[in-house]
Amino acid sequence: MKVRILLILIGLLPLPVGFLINRLMMTIWLYTISSGLLWFTGLFFILLWYIAGFVSVKWVDSRKDTLIYLNAVPGLVLILVLFQEFIIGRYWPNWAGISTQFYYLPLMHVSSNIMRFLPIRTIMLAYICIVAFSIQFLASFLGRKRGERSLRG
């Protein structure tokens, strides 16, 4: 049970980092924010999801449980983003609306660069979040798969 809570807590990590990036962009680095830092944070979280999937082989018995618990928070945030963008057509003007926008901020630079190769004409935050979630999910899946292979021998 403690391991599942740990996986959920790992899933929460992009939120405070997203708030920190926003704060840095709005105060200190208004015009000088380095795209290198944004690439670094995106790649850091992709690597974190891979490592969490890899290490979870020792903690959680099934691959399905690992993927569910590690990606529960990103999945919930994605559902909230899609609801706000496509159903109500605006973001909530409270912490829930702000948090859903800032959650994927650390991965936004990586996912928006990947989107350049997709045949989508209108780039919306929802599409960037879908790509970011897909990257996180794929990283955790590949990490878990690699961990299972290394455990077998």
* pLDDT for res 61: 87
- Kindly report the number of other CB atoms within 10 A of residue 7's CB atom: 25
* pLDDT for res 153: 67
Share of the chain above pLDDT 90, in %: 55
Give yes or no for residue 12 having a pLDDT over 80: yes
Mean pLDDT in residue range 41-57 = 94
Q: Could you give the number of structural domains in the chain?
A: 1
Distance CA 146, CA 140 (A): 10
Mean pLDDT in residue range 51-62 = 91
- Kindly report the number of other CB atoms within 10 A of residue 58's CB atom: 9
The answer to whether residues 80 and 96 touch, using CB atoms and an 8 Å cutoff, is yes
Give yes or no for residue 31 having a pLDDT over 60: no
pTM of the model: 0.90
The answer to whether residues 85 and 101 touch, using CB atoms and an 8 Å cutoff, is no
Distance CA 33, CA 36 (A): 9
CA distances to 24, 92, 102, 104, 107 from 19, rounded to whole Å, are 9, 17, 6, 10, 13
Question: By residue range, what is the domain housing residue 66?
Answer: 2-152
Per-residue 3-state assignment (H helix, E strand, C coil) for 32-71: CCCHHHHHHHHHHHHHHHHHHHHHHHHHCCCHHHHHHHHC
Give yes or no for residue 35 having a pLDDT over 80: no
Question: Which is nearest to 125 in space by CA: 75, 90, 74?
Answer: 90
* pLDDT for res 126: 87
DSSP state of 29: T
Q: What confidence tens digit (pLDDT) does each residue in 137-153 have?
A: 999 999 999 999 988 76
Q: What confidence tens digit (pLDDT) does each residue in 87-101 have?
A: 998 888 888 889 998
What proportions of the chain, in percent to the nearest 5, are helix, strand and coil? 80, 0, 20
